[in-house]
Amino acid sequence: MLMNSLCALALGFVLDMALGDPNGSLYPLTLIKKLVRSLENTLRKAYADSPEAQNMAGLMLIIMTLIICLGISVALLFVCYKINVVLGIIMEGILCWISISCKYLRTSAQGVFRAARSGNIISARRYLKKISCRDVDELDMNEAEKCAAETISENITDWIIAPVFWIALFGGVGGIFCRCINIMDNTVGYKTESCRYFGKIPAIVDDVIMYIPARIAAFLMKLNVAFLHLDHKNAVRIYRRDKRKSPSPNSGCTLAVCAGALGIALCGDEYYDGQLVRKKVIGSSSRPIEPADIYWTSQLALGTAGYGLLLAAVARVAAYIIVYVL
């Protein structure tokens, strides 16, 4: 099973880079998002409007979403592996493809990059809406460029390294588990007053499962900074200085590396659903953000993904040797 899951991870990444995340309403990630929204509406009404009750409703959202999504994933894998090992690897590869969103992140980033170079703010905002939970309709071009760099560097953990990490541990089901938690955090995580209590537990669970992957992502990202001949020394310095400035214990890790590598300042005050969320600035503003920064952030995402896959392969092969050879 160790090598089966490694083959599935490789297949899933190839499928992701070839096909990305389809926009269809029947694509599994879209269905999971719809499920979370549906359960949210039901649970908000079912529980009293008090902090304790809404916290319990948030916990029930996690339990019900995971039971449904992981139950379906485990059942599919069980049936496919029972029929044929190759069919099982293909199905697990599909689960890995669903879990990883490297191409979607890079394609959206490239859309913002092209829009920024041509000065098309409407197009830039349209691409930003695909990858960011922030309010982007009022952003000017410089703010849109900064938002793109922030969102890409943040999602290197959420959409690439964390799924790969959990796949390396538990196979395709681990990747689905990771993305379900991340979707719940992005949907109801308590950035706004309306989700202050309902989204508290989903946000905490997301922080827990992303804790180790975020630090792995930052480490791999620093390796890629050196490979791309960006400012590795400053990336290390800003990471040590600013990684704890984000409200999340995890997102500041890759944000700090990106800001240091490019010599820019990220974060600051942001709006979510019309509500102001104050954030500390990460990095140092030695120059204004440019469209080229979006390109380099996208390159950081791709390179970090490659390093992440290599690390997962090494870990799986080492586990195989320990379990079956030694």
- Mean pLDDT value of segment 284-299: 90
| Contact between 218 and 243 (Cβ < 8 Å) | yes
> pLDDT value at position 322?
87
> pLDDT value at position 35?
95
pLDDT of 277 higher than 80? no
User: pLDDT class for 193, splitting at 50, 70, 90?
Assistant: low
Q: Which of 236, 213, 224 is nearest to 283 (CA)?
A: 236
> pLDDT value at position 253?
96
Buried b (16+ CB within 10 A) or exposed e, 11-26: bbbebbeeebbeeeee
Q: What is the pLDDT of residues 151-182, one digit of tens each?
A: 999 999 999 999 999 999 999 999 999 999 99
Q: Which of 307, 303, 325, 305 is nearest to 2 (CA)?
A: 325
pTM of the model: 0.94
Counting residues of the chain whose pLDDT is more than 90, the rounded percentage is 75
> CA-to-CA distance for 131 and 71, rounded, in angstroms?
27
Tell me which amino acid residue 11 is. L
The residues near 152 (Cβ < 8 Å, ≥ 6 apart) are 105, 109, 131, 258, 294, 297, 298, 300, 301
Tell me which amino acid residue 15 is. L
Q: What is the pLDDT of residues 228-241, one digit of tens each?
A: 999 999 999 999 99
- Mean pLDDT value of segment 292-321: 94
> pLDDT value at position 307?
97
User: pLDDT class for 49, splitting at 50, 70, 90?
Assistant: confident
